[in-house]
Amino acid sequence: MISLRNLTKRYGDKTVVGDLCVEIAPGKVTGFLGPNGAGKSTTMRMILGLDRPTAGQALIDGHRYAELRHPLRRVGALLDAKAVHPGRTPRSHLKAMARSNGIPVRRVAEVLEQVGLTEVADRRSGKFSLGMGQRLGIAGALLGDPHILMFDEPVNGLDPDGVRWIRDLMRSLAAEGRTVFVSSHLMSEMQATADQLVVIGRGRLIADAPVAEVIERSSLTAVRVRTPQPAELEGRLLAAGMRVERPGGEELLVTGGTLERVGAAAHEAGVQLHELSPRAASLEEAYMELTASAVEYAAPVPGADDKAGV
């Protein structure tokens, strides 16, 4: 369990992370989303005690990271692939980590095997590809068999095989009851991997909800209608306060309304329907909407009220 309590980081009068309150629970993959510069990495660095919060706390099972006696056995982190000295071999790098936390040195060979770096274990890591660097970072995260894992943009530089591998790894870690906290800007990846989403923009919390709920709540979740009398229906729907898009032909995309309300409006207008179906927003769309509105405008998202009851 990771608890962020009013976590705040300011540089001068610029607030990078503002008053963040989130609990990241075990047993699921929690995706950490936000545009570049939203404060994701800073938040992760504060959890690991690398950066000092201006205010508030980041706690690991109720303790500050620096209080952990063997931090690598509690929390495994992949911050970025560059946290490795290029002149050192993966084996030496991991051996030093193991010794610092009283982890049996035989774990080094185990995690190297697990991430598929056994063959290059004694080569200096400076010449590694980005993907191999990521694997080495992940090996370091797994070294202490920790109950909490944090990955900052883990699929960066991985080939499709590697992306699939890391996705399966995160799923299996969560299935074992571990806390998996992973940041990404690849929404499609999160849709496939995450159970829970924490979305921030400009350091502020925008959403903390299950993936399905984020999609469902999006005002971009629409109702698709096909009718031979699109103009008549459109007028009716607009009058009822819904928003209508006309992609062309006899198709209408209605937002701000439910299937029932659209159906009722068609019935009242006496309009014949060829199709009435829900169209879920993709996570990407939901996310773009969330961050765009929260970042650029202080005012609530238009139509957000309509969605509250969905």
Non-local (6+) Cβ contacts of 96 within 8 A are none
Among 62, 87, 248, 249, binds other proteins (CB under 8 A): 87
Beta strand segments in 84-202, E:
148-152, 179-184, 196-201
Q: Is 96 in the site for other proteins (CB under 8 A)?
A: yes
Measure the CA–CA gap between 170 and 175, rounded to whole angstroms: 8
Q: Is 83 in the site for other proteins (CB under 8 A)?
A: yes
Least distance to other proteins, CB of residue 198, Å: 21
Non-local (6+) Cβ contacts of 49 within 8 A are 64, 65, 66
Q: Is 195 in the site for other proteins (CB under 8 A)?
A: no
Measure the CA–CA gap between 224 and 213, rounded to whole angstroms: 20
Among 24, 33, 58, 77, binds other proteins (CB under 8 A): 77
Residue 310 in contact with residue 219, Cβ under 8 Å?
A: no
Site for other proteins in 17-36 (CB under 8 A): none
Place of tokens 């909800």: 209
**DSSP letter, residue 282:** P
Q: Is 43 in the site for other proteins (CB under 8 A)?
A: no
Among 84, 233, 266, 294, binds other proteins (CB under 8 A): 84
Beta strand segments in the chain, E:
2-11, 14-24, 29-33, 55-60, 63-64, 75-78, 148-152, 179-184, 196-201, 204-210, 222-226, 243-248, 251-255, 275-279
Compute CA 121 distance to the chain's CA centroid, rounded to the nearest angstrom.
31
Binding-site size for other proteins (CB under 8 A) equals 65
Q: CB-wise, 32 or 128, nearer to other proteins? A: 128
**DSSP letter, residue 159:** -
Q: Is 69 in the site for other proteins (CB under 8 A)?
A: yes
Least distance to other proteins, CB of residue 201, Å: 22
Q: Is 168 in the site for other proteins (CB under 8 A)?
A: yes
Among 23, 37, 130, 172, binds other proteins (CB under 8 A): 172
Q: Is 50 in the site for other proteins (CB under 8 A)?
A: yes
Among 95, 202, 217, 236, binds other proteins (CB under 8 A): 95
Q: Is 48 in the site for other proteins (CB under 8 A)?
A: yes
Q: Is 92 in the site for other proteins (CB under 8 A)?
A: yes
Measure the CA–CA gap between 183 and 163, rounded to whole angstroms: 14
Nearest-CA neighbor of 35 among 209, 291, 210, 218? 291
Long-range contacts of 61-67 (CB under 8 A, 24+ apart): 61/1, 61/148, 62/1, 62/3
Q: Is 261 in the site for other proteins (CB under 8 A)?
A: no
Candidate segments 32-40, 42-50, 237-245, 263-271, binder of other proteins by CB under 8 A: 42-50
End-to-end CA distance of the chain: 30
Q: CB-wise, 85 or 279, nearer to other proteins? A: 85
Among 176, 260, 275, 305, binds other proteins (CB under 8 A): 176
Least distance to other proteins, CB of residue 7, Å: 14
Among 18, 39, 140, 201, binds other proteins (CB under 8 A): 140
Output the six-digit token pair for 186: 């690849």
Q: CB-wise, 116 or 210, nearer to other proteins? A: 116
- By CB under 8 A, name the binding residues for other proteins: 45, 48-52, 65-66, 68-75, 77, 79-80, 82-89, 92-93, 95-97, 99-104, 106-107, 110-111, 113-117, 119, 124, 140, 142, 145-147, 161-162, 165, 168-169, 172-173, 175-178
